[in-house]
């Protein structure tokens, strides 16, 4: 029989929402305060916490697993103590992030950045032909669970989609094949819209850089809902106006007041809100209950991204 597992929640509201789980004892641990006196096995980090909110587990040597409420985890690995595993919230943010990706694509393709500026001025602008989305060629860079959710929502818009991942592999029910990133340079110029869902890593840093952006035809739309550093900001500024950009993530982030990207032509920016919808909380609660039920049963953790 599995032993009792002690889990810390970032605040009492998360503990209340998750409710009792057989085999689990719960405590509250706000990372800005001292760790609890109890030995904690599983530490649930606050949503959108900075690495410091994970580094605190070093103060509680009993912690064996850190559970994130975000899908991104790359910036947490350097502060994770040796021997501690890390699980992310895979699946929780897929639908919301896919919604935002489609919102950014449609807003740019149909000119809603121009419409918003005109509305603020009380101006009824003249009509002209916009790119739209139907019949466009879309390249999806980063074909994981979020990428797949985006493609599912793209298909009804009558587009053709090319999926690119770190390595080539067989396709699925949505795409005929998944191309390797080594094909990106050849594939990108053949597309009208490029959507990046890439995580942050040395391999993805500035993958959308000067060389690739220079190869794109005029008017190509580049969308980033993954990690800001995948796009070289300075290169994007050089091509703004010739290319269009719709970005939920930036480098640096938050984007400072007065940064030239704010006013660059053809650029739409949202403040990293991909997962911030009312769907988040109930989906995260469901994921936490699945995780804690598995751990209490002595099973391996779900959504494990790093094994300590």
Q: SS3 helix, strand, coil % of the chain, rounded to 5?
A: 35, 20, 45
Residue 277, φ and ψ in degrees, nearest 5:
-135, 175
Helix axes 112-120, 94-110, angle to 10 degrees: 70
Nearest-angstrom CA–CA distance, 153 and 165: 19
Nearest-angstrom CA–CA distance, 6 and 42: 6
Catalytic residue among 93, 148, 191, 227: 227
| Contact predicate 125/118, CB 8 Å | yes
Nearest-angstrom CA–CA distance, 54 and 50: 7
117 is catalytic: no
DSSP symbols for 228-250: GGGB-HHHHHHHBTTBEEEESS-
DSSP reduced 3-state for 94: helix
272 is catalytic: yes
Classify strands 304-306 and 85-87 as parallel, antiparallel or unpaired: antiparallel
Residues taking part in catalysis: 227, 272
């Amino acid at each position: 029989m599995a032993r009792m597992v002690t889990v810390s929640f970032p605040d009492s509201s998360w503990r209340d929402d998750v409710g009792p789980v057989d085999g689990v004892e719960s405590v509250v641990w706000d990372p800005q305060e001292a760790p609890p006196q109890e030995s904690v096995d599983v530490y649930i980090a606050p949503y959108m916490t900075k690495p410091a909110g994970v580094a605190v587990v070093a103060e509680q040597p009993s912690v064996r697993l850190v559970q994130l409420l975000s899908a991104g985890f790359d910036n947490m690995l350097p502060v994770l103590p040796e021997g501690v595993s890390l699980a992310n919230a895979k699946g929780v943010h897929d639908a919301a992030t896919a919604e935002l990706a489609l919102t950014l694509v449609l807003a740019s393709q149909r000119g809603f950045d121009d419409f918003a500026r005109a509305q603020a001025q009380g101006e009824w602008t003249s009509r002209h032909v916009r790119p739209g989305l139907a019949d466009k060629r879309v390249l999806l860079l980063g074909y994981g669970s979020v990428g797949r959710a985006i493609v599912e929502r793209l298909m009804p818009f009558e587009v053709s989609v090319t999926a690119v991942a770190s390595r080539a592999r067989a396709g699925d029910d949505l795409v005929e094949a998944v191309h390797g990133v080594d094909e990106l340079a050849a594939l990108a110029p053949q597309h009208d819209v490029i959507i990046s869902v890439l995580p942050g890593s040395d391999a993805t840093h500035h993958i959308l850089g000067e060389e690739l952006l220079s190869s794109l035809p005029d008017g190509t739309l580049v969308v980033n809902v993954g990690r800001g550093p995948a796009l070289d900001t300075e290169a994007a500024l050089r091509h703004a106006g010739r290319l269009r950009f719709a970005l939920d993530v930036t480098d640096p982030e938050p984007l400072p007041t007065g940064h030239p990207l704010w006013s660059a032509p053809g650029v739409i920016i949202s403040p990293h809100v991909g997962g911030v919808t009312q769907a988040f909380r109930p989906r995260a609660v469901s994921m936490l209950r699945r995780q804690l039920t598995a751990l209490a049963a002595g099973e391996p953790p779900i959504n494990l991204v790093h094994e300590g």
